[in-house]
């Protein structure tokens, strides 16, 4: 590999407090050799491969902590190849894959299969998670120690919540001893049973059973109480309500050490967008009120919420174009994550540095992986984007195998131009 010299860019790396006009050098091994304002056209060898970025923004490759892949068992929805293509077009170079496959990722042989398929079929970094409990049934915890030694970065039941408090305390106790990361989907199974959208005026008007915010808040309160006794690496996958933010903020102020995520969908949409039964907006957690959305945005900006995720969950159109009660839950989002997040920067809701932190260095730090940064000597996983480029979301032009985007025909400002993985140009819009 020839050395590459990326010049004339606005380089932003929140981890290292870099925000300056300059460039980046990729060495022959695909590693970052130099970065920042000292990398200019004036001090480069004449034989160098020079890529002029024309004042566009260069950031570390995006790390998405919550992505559902169809392999194994649901390849008709998404496979590693189509996921890779979708992720690269959105500047995402690393993903944490959820264990809700068929069979579930809960044993060593499945981990070996997943890593092998990810390596052979994908051009991005696949960091697999394993289930918290056997077959995600919430009854018997998986073998954390053995799975972690096989390369599992986190444990989660994905779309399911560990309901049994005895099981959860055992999980936290063992996670504390093994230094394992626990990621919990916070939704009380009983309170949310049969629920379809946020409980409130709109659910009543549409005649749909609602999911109260208490279903989320109760699980968060319970788990944070456990955390006080069993200090472990704990992450709330995604939250959706203002009341939950209050709980999280108080716990952090009290000295509890944990992290929190939020879906880009809950930052950009609210229950009003569902309109007359738009099933493509049937999500988990559900879209809530505009006040909830605003509170979530503020919590990202002030650091109460650490991570923004795409919650990429492909579903074929046949399973979405049903009645609201029968339609599958979930939406694609890995390739629109950055563009949709930039809306919050353009409307001055979230500072650009805070926004980039939430999708690069913050998730990488929580996961304990060497990504999300432009540190010298690290693999050159890079995202280059034009923050002002306008475009319209057309589902037929999306790279994901499934086209269940919740933002069809939405006008966005900001688009990924190039994506590098391990120093190689993996995606180029032009």
Distance CA 37, CA 35 (A): 7
Catalytic residue among 157, 306, 311, 386: 311
Q: Are 83 and 95 spatial neighbours (Cβ–Cβ below 8 Å)?
A: yes
3-state SS, residue 274 = helix
**CA-CA distance, 72 to 152, in Å (whole number)?**
17
On the question of a cis peptide bond just before residue 285, with omega within 30 degrees of 0, the verdict is: yes
Entry field: residues in the chain = 430
Does the annotation mark 311 as catalytic? Answer: yes
- Report DSSP letters for 306-365, one per residue: -EEE--B----HHHHSS-TTTSPP-B--TTTHHHHHHHHHHTTSS-HHHHHHTTTHHHHH
d(CA 312, CA 415): 18
Question: 126: which strand partners?
Answer: 95
- Distances 176 to 192, 234, 343 between C-alpha atoms, Å: 29, 9, 38
Cα–Cα distance between 39 and 51 in angstroms, integer?
12
Residues marked as catalytic:
311
């Amino acid at each position: 590999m020839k050395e590459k010299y990326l010049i004339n860019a606005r380089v932003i790396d929140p981890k290292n407090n870099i925000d300056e006009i300059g460039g980046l050098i990729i060495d022959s091994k695909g590693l970052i050799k130099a970065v920042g304002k000292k990398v200019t056209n004036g001090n480069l060898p004449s034989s160098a491969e020079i890529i002029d970025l024309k004042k566009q923004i260069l950031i570390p490759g995006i790390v998405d902590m919550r992505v559902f892949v169809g392999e194994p068992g649901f390849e008709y929805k998404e496979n590693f190849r189509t996921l890779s293509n979708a992720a690269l077009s959105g500047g995402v170079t690393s993903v944490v894959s959820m264990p809700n496959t068929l069979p579930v990722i809960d044993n060593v042989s499945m981990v070996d299969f997943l890593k092998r398929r990810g390596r052979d079929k994908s051009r991005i970094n696949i960091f697999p998670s394993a289930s918290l409990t056997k077959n995600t049934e919430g009854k018997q915890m998986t073998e954390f120690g053995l799975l972690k030694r096989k390369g599992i970065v986190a444990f989660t039941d994905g779309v399911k919540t560990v309901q049994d408090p005895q099981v959860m305390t055992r999980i936290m106790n063992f996670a504390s001893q093994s230094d394992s990361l626990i990621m919990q989907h916070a939704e009380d199974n009983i309170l949310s049973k049969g629920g379809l959208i946020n409980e409130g005026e709109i659910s009543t008007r549409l005649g749909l059973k609602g999911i109260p915010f208490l279903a989320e808040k109760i699980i968060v309160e319970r788990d944070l109480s456990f955390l006080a006794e069993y200090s472990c690496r704990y992450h709330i996958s995604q939250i959706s309500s203002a009341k939950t933010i209050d709980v999280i903020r108080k716990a952090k102020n009290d000295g509890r050490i944990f992290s929190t995520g939020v879906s880009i969908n809950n930052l950009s949409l609210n229950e009003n967008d569902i309109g007359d039964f738009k099933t493509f907006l049937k999500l988990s957690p559900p879209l809530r009120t505009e006040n909830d959305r605003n509170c979530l945005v503020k919590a990202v900006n002030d650091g109460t919420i650490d991570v923004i995720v795409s919650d990429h969950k492909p579903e074929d159109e046949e399973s979405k174009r049903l009645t609201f009660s029968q339609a599958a839950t979930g939406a694609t989002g890995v390739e629109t994550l950055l563009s949709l997040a930039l809306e919050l920067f353009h409307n001055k809701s979230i500072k650009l540095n805070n926004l980039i932190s939430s999708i690069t260095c913050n998730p990488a730090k929580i996961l304990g992986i060497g990504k999300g940064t432009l540190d010298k000597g690290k693999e050159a996983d890079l995202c280059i984007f034009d923050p002002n480029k306008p475009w319209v979301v057309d589902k037929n032009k999306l790279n994901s195998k499934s086209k269940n985007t919740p933002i069809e025909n939405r006008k966005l400002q900001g688009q990924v131009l190039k994506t590098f993985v391990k120093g190689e140009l993996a995606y180029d819009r032009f």
